[in-house]
Every structure is written in structure tokens, then in C-alpha cells.
């Protein structure tokens, strides 16, 4: 996934949750890339939250859910 796609997806995500109180963090290869590690390819965007956050995310992104833990931002 190229940087433009990553930024576009993160903008969608942040704009949809900006008024919600959701604790979340980036994980996986994208988190490492943002921290400056030499990551050649980011395949997906891993977001970690707690159970309350997960319920809120499911509600906010109800139209974007592919499966229990996957959302589409295409």
C-alpha cells in the first residue's frame, strides 16, 4: 500500500471518529513505519482498541464492515 493510500484511509478513519471518544492506537507495520523504521511494504492498517472502542467503531463503520474485524476503505 502506498503512502497516499495510507494517508487517505487514515483521514477517512479520523474524520469519522473525530467527535467520538474512542481510545485507539496504530499497530503493526504502519506503526513501525511511522516511527521511522525501514518498512518496505505496509499491507494493512492495524488499529487496536478496547471493548468499548470496538463497539463504537462497529457502529460508526457499520456500512464499511467486511467481517468481524475487517473494515473496507476502498
**67: pLDDT confidence band, cut at 50, 70 and 90?**
low
Mean per-residue pLDDT, 40-53: 89
Entry pTM: 0.76
Of 16, 11, 18, 19, which is closest to residue 45 (Cα–Cα)?
Answer: 11
pLDDT digits (tens, 9 = 90+) for 16-44: 999 999 999 999 999 999 999 999 889 88
Question: Can you tell me the distance from the alpha carbon of 59 to that of 74, in angstroms, rounded to the nearest whole number?
Answer: 19
Of 73, 2, 74, 69, which is closest to residue 33 (Cα–Cα)?
Answer: 2
Question: Can you tell me the distance from the alpha carbon of 58 to that of 7, in angstroms, rounded to the nearest whole number?
Answer: 21
Amino acid at each position: 500500500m502506498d503512502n497516499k493510500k495510507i494517508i487517505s484511509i487514515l483521514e477517512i478513519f479520523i474524520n469519522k471518529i473525530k467527535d467520538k471518544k474512542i481510545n485507539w492506537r496504530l499497530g503493526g507495520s504502519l506503526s513501525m513505519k511511522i516511527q521511522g523504521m525501514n518498512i518496505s511494504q505496509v499491507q494493512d492498517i492495524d488499529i487496536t482498541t478496547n471493548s468499548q472502542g470496538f463497539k463504537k467503531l462497529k457502529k460508526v463503520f457499520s456500512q464499511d464492515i467486511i467481517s468481524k474485524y475487517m473494515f473496507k476503505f476502498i
